[in-house]
C-alpha cells in the first residue's frame, strides 16, 4: 500500500456511515533496527470530519505561529481524531472502513520536550 492511496480517502464506520476523510497517518519507529533507526510501522490514521486537506504540521500542540494560520487550521480540523491501525477493518478502492467499536483518540501531537 502507498500512503498516497490512503490520503483523502473517505472513512466509514462498520455500518457504512460517513465519518470523514483520511488527512494524515501516524508512524512509530519501533520495528527492527534498519540502519541507524528502527523500521517504521503504521500506527494509525487521522480522520477529519470536514476536509481532506492536511494539517501542515499545525496538529502539534504548541504550534501557534503564524497565529492566523494556527487558528484557521484549528477551526478547519475541529473534530479530527486518530484511529489506531488495528481498528481499520478494510481499505477498499472506495473507502477506509473501521471496525465496529473502534476507538477515537485525540489528534494532537505533543511538542518534543513539552
Model confidence, pTM: 0.77
Domain chopping of the chain, boundaries: 3-106
For the beta carbon of residue 57, count every other beta carbon within 10 angstroms. Answer: 10
What would the pLDDT profile of 21-55 be if each residue is shown by its tens digit?
998 899 898 888 888 888 888 999 999 898 766 66
Query: Mean pLDDT for the chain?
Result: 83
pLDDT at 101: 96
Residue range 53-74: mean pLDDT, rounded:
65
Q: Among 36-45, 70-79, 82-91, which is the least confidently predicted range?
A: 70-79
Which class does domain 3-106 fall in? mainly beta
- The dihedral through the CA atoms of 79, 85, 90, 95 has a sign that is positive
Single out the residue of 72, 70, 50 nearest to residue 62, CA to CA: 70
Of residues 11 and 2, more confidence is placed in 11
Amino acid at each position: 500500500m502507498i500512503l498516497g492511496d490512503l490520503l483523502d480517502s473517505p472513512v466509514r464506520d462498520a455500518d457504512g456511515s460517513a465519518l470523514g476523510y483520511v488527512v494524515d497517518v501516524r508512524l512509530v519507529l519501533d520495528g527492527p533496527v534498519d540502519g541507524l533507526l528502527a523500521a517504521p510501522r503504521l500506527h494509525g490514521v487521522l480522520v477529519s470530519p470536514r476536509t481532506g486537506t492536511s494539517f501542515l504540521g499545525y496538529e502539534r500542540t504548541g504550534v501557534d505561529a503564524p497565529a492566523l494560520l494556527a487558528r484557521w487550521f484549528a477551526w478547519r480540523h475541529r473534530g479530527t481524531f486518530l484511529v489506531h491501525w488495528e481498528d481499520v477493518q478494510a481499505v477498499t478502492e472506495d473507502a477506509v472502513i473501521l471496525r465496529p467499536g473502534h476507538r477515537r483518540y485525540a489528534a494532537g501531537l505533543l511538542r518534543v520536550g513539552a
